[in-house]
Amino acid sequence: MIHLESDYNNGAHPDVLQRLVATNDERTQSYGDDHFSEHACELIRAACEAPDAQIWFLAGGTQTNAAIIDCVLQPYEGVLCADTAHINVHEAGAVEFTGHKVIALPSCEGKLETAALQEWLAAFFADDTAAHMVRPGMVYLTFPTELGTLYTANELHAIRAVCSDYGLRLYVDGARLAYGLAASADVTLPLLARVADVFYIGGTKCGALCGEAVVFPKSDAPAHMLSRIKQHGALLAKSRVVGVQFEVLFAANGNAPLYLTLGHHAVALAMRLRRLFVEQLGYQPYIDSPTNQQFYVIPNTDLENLRQHIGFEVWCPVDKHHTTCRFVTSWAVTDEEIDDLEHVL
């Protein structure tokens, strides 16, 4: 039985755990003011080629999105996103809870399209009644998207240009960033740091027990971030717990950081899974995802057998005879598990 329900159904990468054990007895300051967190920040700055980046460690993704979006937006501004975006669909209204409208635009394969964005903004700023509408203040992207797809570097540059034209900030939700970076031909951490005003490097789904690293690469975070993070209930007293983990994930030991290595591993397994499903089993991809989330249209008659061997998530019905299902690899899935799958299916 292989568990592909999600990339948060396990603990942490062994190196991360081991470092938590090794550092356990040391006493440090709290609220981010410890040498583990400081070192992790240095490593992330280096990986992003953003030497002045401001970095905060938070506990989870929804919390990070709600806190960062609220801190960066003015109180009267809203956030633009794809209609499939996590903040629009699956965060229980956490952004609206802080008073901001989520302005959802039609999307294509999980991606916000530059042209649609540009058109919406042009119409908004040409509208005589704009003062009675929610003013857009930010564009929110996920990388990879909720459907596993990726923006190319060119697409990110184009969206960045639109944001700049209209005075919007660009925020990238990197809950699964490791997998996106591993699968992308041209998007890297330094590129993200150049195009985004703020983004987060997801830990929870990419090797950590818990924790996300918020990066303001241009060092232009709003004032009093520590107080505001606390006001959102998102300040960790013992934030070293996340700091230690990111220290391991971004350790510069001559090779690629562990964070990227884990991403490559999961993506390689996802490609093996794709070959198995498409070439061996003849399933049709629901969407062409190059990352660790894979979606296939499964004949309903096959579901029972699949469930004997794989844990997965039903995504949506297709028609009377087919169902789209999601299969998620992660750093924790092994080659052997995919081997086994190839044998039994």
Please select the residue that binds a copy of itself; options are 237, 321, 339, 344, rule is CB under 8 A.
237
Two structure tokens written together for 13: 């990468």
Does 63 bind a copy of itself (CB under 8 A)? Our answer is: yes
Nearer to a copy of itself, 20 or 48 (CB): 20
Does 275 bind a copy of itself (CB under 8 A)? Our answer is: no
Nearer to a copy of itself, 69 or 196 (CB): 69
219 φ, ψ (degrees, to nearest 5): 60, 35
Interacting span for a copy of itself (CB under 8 A) from 109-117, 205-213, 274-282, 287-295: 205-213
**Beta carbon of residue 199, minimum distance to a copy of itself (angstroms, whole number):** 18
Nearer to a copy of itself, 131 or 185 (CB): 131
**Beta carbon of residue 229, minimum distance to a copy of itself (angstroms, whole number):** 8
- Helix (H) / strand (E) element for 337: namely helix 335-344
Does 38 bind a copy of itself (CB under 8 A)? Our answer is: no
CA-wise closest residue to 171 among 203, 135, 139: 139
**Beta carbon of residue 86, minimum distance to a copy of itself (angstroms, whole number):** 9
List Cβ neighbours of 224 (8 Å cut-off, separation of 6 or more): none
CA distance 182 to 192: 14
**Beta carbon of residue 11, minimum distance to a copy of itself (angstroms, whole number):** 3
Contact positions with a copy of itself (CB under 8 A) in 75-104: 75-76, 78, 89-94, 96-102
**Beta carbon of residue 181, minimum distance to a copy of itself (angstroms, whole number):** 20
The DSSP call for residue 148 is S
Please select the residue that binds a copy of itself; options are 27, 254, 279, 320, rule is CB under 8 A.
27
Question: What does 107-147 look like in DSSP terms, one character per residue?
Answer: EETTEE-HHHHHHHHHHHHH-TTGGGSPEEEEEEEESS-TT
Does 227 bind a copy of itself (CB under 8 A)? Our answer is: yes
Does 231 bind a copy of itself (CB under 8 A)? Our answer is: yes
Question: What does 48-64 look like in DSSP terms, one character per residue?
Answer: HT-TT-EEEEES-HHHH
Does 190 bind a copy of itself (CB under 8 A)? Our answer is: no
Nearer to a copy of itself, 22 or 252 (CB): 22
337 φ, ψ (degrees, to nearest 5): -65, -35
Does 35 bind a copy of itself (CB under 8 A)? Our answer is: no
Does 308 bind a copy of itself (CB under 8 A)? Our answer is: no
Where b means 16+ CB within 10 Å and e means fewer, 317-341 reads: ebeeebbbbbbbbbbbbeeebbeeb
SS3 content of the chain, % helix, strand, coil (to 5): 45, 20, 35
